[in-house]
Amino acid sequence: MSRILIVEDEERIASFVRKGLTAGGFTTTVVGTGAEAVDYTVTGGFDLVLLDLGLPDTDGFDVLRRIRKLGVDVPVVILTARDGVHDTVTGLEIGADDYVTKPFRFEELLARVRLRMRTERTADLTVLDAGGLSLDLRTRRVSVEGSTVDLTAREFALLELLMRHEGQVLSRQQVLSHVWGYDHDPGSNVVDVFVRALRRKVGAERIRTVRGMGYRLTG
C-alpha cells in the first residue's frame, strides 16, 4: 500500500485531495504546517509527499530544503498557484520532482502522483476489471468484452471511479468532486451528461441509476 503525506493548510483542498487519494487506494496522512511536514517526512516512511508552498509557519521551499538537507529523497510534488511560474522553477531547482498548478482537477493530481510514486505499483493494481470491462491505468487503454473503446480523459476518470467502487452507489456529489475537482458548480448536471456518454461507449446496462442516490457500476 502506497503512503502519501499531504502537506496543505487549506482544509477544503486537503480534504478533497485526501478523499480522492483514499478512493484511489492510497493511504494518506494530512498535516497543515511546515514543522509537521518536516517531522513526518523524515520519520514517516512515505512514498510521496504533496507539498503546498503557502504554509502558516514557513513556506514549502523551506520544508523542501530542510528535508533534502537531511538526506530524505522521497519524491515531492509541489502544489503551486497558477501564476507561480517562478515558484515552479525554484521548487524544481531545490529538489521537487514535479508540480501541480492550483486550481487542479483531481485527475491531473493523480496522474502526477502515479508518475512520481517511488514504489512500483504491482500489475494487479494497474489494471481494473469489472463487469466485462478492463481499464489499464498505465496505458490508459479501456476495453469492453475485449474490444478497445476510446474514452476522453474525463470519461476515463469517471469510469475508473465507478470501477474502483463496483457495486457501490456513488452520489453525483462524490463523482463531481472526484472527477471535476473542488471548484465545481454543485448544481451542474455535467455528471449526468458524462454518464450518458459513457453508457453509449461501454453499454448502458453497466451503469445503473439509483433514483435519488446516484450511480452504480454493476459487476
- DSSP per-residue string spanning 189-203: -HHHHHHHHHHHHH-
The answer for residues whose C-beta is within 8 angstroms of residue 20's C-beta and 6 or more apart is: 106, 109, 110, 177, 178
Residue 9 or 166: which CB sits closer to Ca ion? 9
Exposure of 213 in the CB half-sphere (CA atoms within 13 A):
9
> Quick one: CA dihedral 155, 16, 9, 119, positive or negative?
negative
Cell of 36: 509537521
Residues from 157 through 186 that contact Ca ion (CB under 5 A): none
Total of chain residues touching Ca ion, rule CB under 5 A = 3
- Is 32 a binder of Ca ion (CB under 5 A)? no
Among 47, 52, 87, 107, binds Ca ion (CB under 5 A): 52
- Is 54 a binder of Ca ion (CB under 5 A)? yes
The H helix count followed by the E strand count for the chain is: 9, 12
Interface map 4-23 toward Ca ion (x if CB under 5 A) = -----x--------------
Residue 45 or 56: which CB sits closer to Ca ion? 56
CB of 12 to Ca ion, least distance (A): 11
Residue 63 or 217: which CB sits closer to Ca ion? 63
Q: Which residue has the cell 453525483?
A: 172
Q: Whose CB is nearest to Ca ion? A: 54
CB of 56 to Ca ion, least distance (A): 8
What is the binding site for Ca ion (CB under 5 A)? Answer: 9, 52, 54
